[in-house]
């Protein structure tokens, strides 16, 4: 028994037989129930570290369903670190379309260049050197080390944290529970089947020990689970302060010239949606704007009804869209018709704004076109 808040039976203190039974139950379930995903290989097959690394970058903030759709195309285009390192950022951002959070694409690009320049084109095989690469934090380093290189660690993402919090009845609020959950995970790495065990914990969180309604009836760990035994599984993990995500406000300007083309700009490479194309707009402020915006150029302007909301990690953006028919100098760059937009990296926010104005953006196409 530990002094830590609300925790019993830490793995380090579990009798060896119990820990082995827990791992065996988990593995048997995984071998039976794991989803076939394009980045997974069967046991006994050596995984390609580059594919593992790319999948972990994609899965950082994107659902499995979306990554499943985009993974094969991305890997067909960039089958190794060298091919991604040799691409220009435009191509990478374009190929990343649909996955969101474009910062990851920029970091993956930088990561590929470092792998090419410093590691002979292959991701390094240990957590410490993985951790030193751009875009790789402790979780991704642990996941790649376990899955691609067989390091006996259990990477703790939100799914795994939830399973462990329930299994060991960690009743501290989420923020305070983090260190405790990491400590619990550290006692659960497995030397015999490290890749399968790491993925089994993730899969159990995704498929069975789900956030709202854990499926305890089909859980291979139910007999070990303290939260289940106490009937508190739906109360764990304990939420934090529950503060509402702050909101930011601004304007987007949809400018059309006489031939129907629309003005798009490229966002600065550093920062949110960096390097993608979007509509010109105002800066984003905490307070809602008071009155109409200063328009970027003269024209016939009208507000479109409603607002476009878009969630970012730390805030929700709310944009009012103004449409203007404006003059443009002959040969002025940045004006696109729908066909020309097909070759651009349009962020999901830009796609939302276009739809709000009644313009269906072109689908993301396979293969980037250089501008
Ligand atoms: S028994 Fe229920 S709460 Fe416990 S680990 Fe399994 S699914 Fe999660």
The Cα 195–Cα 34 span in angstroms is: 13
The Cα 232–Cα 285 span in angstroms is: 41
Single out the residue in 210, 235, 260 at which a domain terminates.
235
- How many CB atoms sit inside 10 A of residue 233's CB? 22
The Cα 242–Cα 229 span in angstroms is: 27
Which amino acid residue places its CA nearest to atom 1 of ligand 1?
A: 222
Kindly state whether residue 71 falls inside one of the protein's structural domains: yes
Q: Which domain holds residue 69?
A: 11-235
In this structure, the answer to whether residues 258 and 225 fall within a common structural domain is no
Backbone angles phi, psi at 5, to 5 degrees: -55, 120
- Domain harbouring 90, CATH code: 1.10.340.30
In this structure, the answer to whether residues 196 and 289 fall within a common structural domain is no
Give the position of tokens 């150029």: 297
Q: Residues near ligand 1 with C-beta < 6 Å?
A: 163, 166-167, 208-209, 214-216, 219, 221-222, 225, 227-228, 233
Ligand 1 atom closest to the Cα of residue 236 is 3
Over residues 313-330, mean pLDDT: 91
In this structure, of 34-38, 54-58, 268-272, the range with the lowest mean pLDDT score is: 268-272
For the chain, what is the mean pLDDT? Answer: 88
Catalytic residues: 56
Backbone angles phi, psi at 291, to 5 degrees: 90, 180
The Cα 149–Cα 143 span in angstroms is: 9
pLDDT of residue 6: 40
Which amino acid residue places its CA nearest to atom 2 of ligand 1?
A: 216
Query: Which residues pair with residue 326 across a beta bridge?
Result: 299
Q: What is the pLDDT of residues 144-202, one digit of tens each?
A: 999 999 999 999 999 999 999 999 999 888 778 888 899 889 888 888 899 999 999 99
Checking if the pLDDT of 367 tops 90, the result is no
Checking if the pLDDT of 5 tops 70, the result is no
Query: Which residues pair with residue 324 across a beta bridge?
Result: 255, 301
Q: What is the pLDDT of residues 289-315, one digit of tens each?
A: 877 888 999 999 999 998 999 988 789
The Cα 103–Cα 93 span in angstroms is: 9
Which of 208, 212, 230, 238 has most ligand 1 atoms within 8 Å of CB, for mutation?
208
In this structure, the answer to whether residues 203 and 300 fall within a common structural domain is no
Confidence of residue 243 (pLDDT cuts 50, 70, 90): low
- How many CB atoms sit inside 10 A of residue 287's CB? 8
pLDDT of residue 363: 78
Between the CA of 176 and the centroid of ligand 1 the distance, in Å, is 21
pLDDT of residue 292: 81
Confidence of residue 120 (pLDDT cuts 50, 70, 90): very high
The Cα 98–Cα 93 span in angstroms is: 10
pLDDT of residue 258: 92
- Domain harbouring 260, CATH code: 3.90.79.10
Quick one: DSSP state of residue 36?
-
Q: Are 126 and 149 in contact (CB under 8 A)?
A: yes
pLDDT of residue 17: 77
Task: State the pTM of this model.
Answer: 0.73
Between the CA of 87 and the centroid of ligand 1 the distance, in Å, is 45
Between the CA of 104 and the centroid of ligand 1 the distance, in Å, is 32
Over residues 220-233, mean pLDDT: 93
In this structure, the answer to whether residues 130 and 251 fall within a common structural domain is no
Kindly state whether residue 5 falls inside one of the protein's structural domains: no
Backbone angles phi, psi at 140, to 5 degrees: -65, -40
């Amino acid at each position: 028994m530990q002094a830590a808040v609300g925790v019993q039976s830490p793995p380090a203190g579990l009798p060896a037989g119990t820990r082995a039974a827990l791992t065996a139950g988990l593995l048997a379930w995984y071998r039976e129930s794991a989803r076939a995903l394009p980045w997974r290989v069967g046991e006994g097959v050596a995984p390609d570290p580059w594919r593992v690394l790319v999948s972990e970058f994609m899965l950082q903030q994107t659902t499995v369903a979306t990554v499943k759709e985009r993974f094969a195309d991305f890997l067909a285009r960039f089958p190794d670190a060298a091919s991604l390192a040799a691409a220009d950022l435009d191509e990478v951002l374009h190929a990343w379309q649909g996955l969101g959070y474009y910062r990851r694409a920029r970091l993956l690009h930088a990561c590929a260049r470092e792998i090419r320049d410093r590691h002979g084109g292959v991701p390094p095989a240990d957590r410490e050197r993985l951790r030193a690469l751009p875009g790789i934090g402790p979780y991704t380093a642990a996941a790649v080390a376990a899955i691609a290189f067989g390091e006996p660690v259990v990477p703790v993402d939100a799914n795994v944290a939830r399973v462990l919090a329930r299994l060991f009845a960690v009743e501290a609020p989420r923020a305070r529970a983090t260190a405790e959950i990491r400590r619990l995970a550290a006692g659960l790495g497995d030397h015999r089947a490290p890749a399968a065990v790491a993925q089994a914990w993730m899969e159990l969180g995704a498929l069975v020990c789900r956030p709202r309604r854990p499926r305890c009836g089909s859980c291979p760990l139910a007999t070990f689970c303290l939260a289940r035994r106490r009937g508190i599984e739906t109360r764990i993990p304990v939420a934090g302060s529950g503060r509402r995500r702050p909101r930011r406000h601004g304007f987007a300007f949809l400018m059309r010239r006489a031939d129907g083309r629309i003005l798009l700009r490229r966002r600065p490479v550093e920062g949110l949606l960096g390097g993608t194309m979007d509509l010109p707009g105002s800066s984003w402020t905490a307070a809602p704007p008071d009155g109409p915006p200063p328009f970027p150029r003269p024209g016939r302007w009208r507000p479109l009804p409603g607002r476009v909301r878009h969630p970012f990690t730390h805030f929700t953006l709310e944009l009012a869209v103004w449409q203007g028919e404006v003059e443009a100098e002959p040969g002025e760059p940045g004006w696109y018709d729908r066909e020309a937009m097909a070759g651009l990296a349009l962020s999901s926010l830009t796609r939302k704004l276009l739809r709000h104005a009644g313009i269906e953006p072109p689908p993301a196409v396979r293969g980037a076109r250089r501008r």
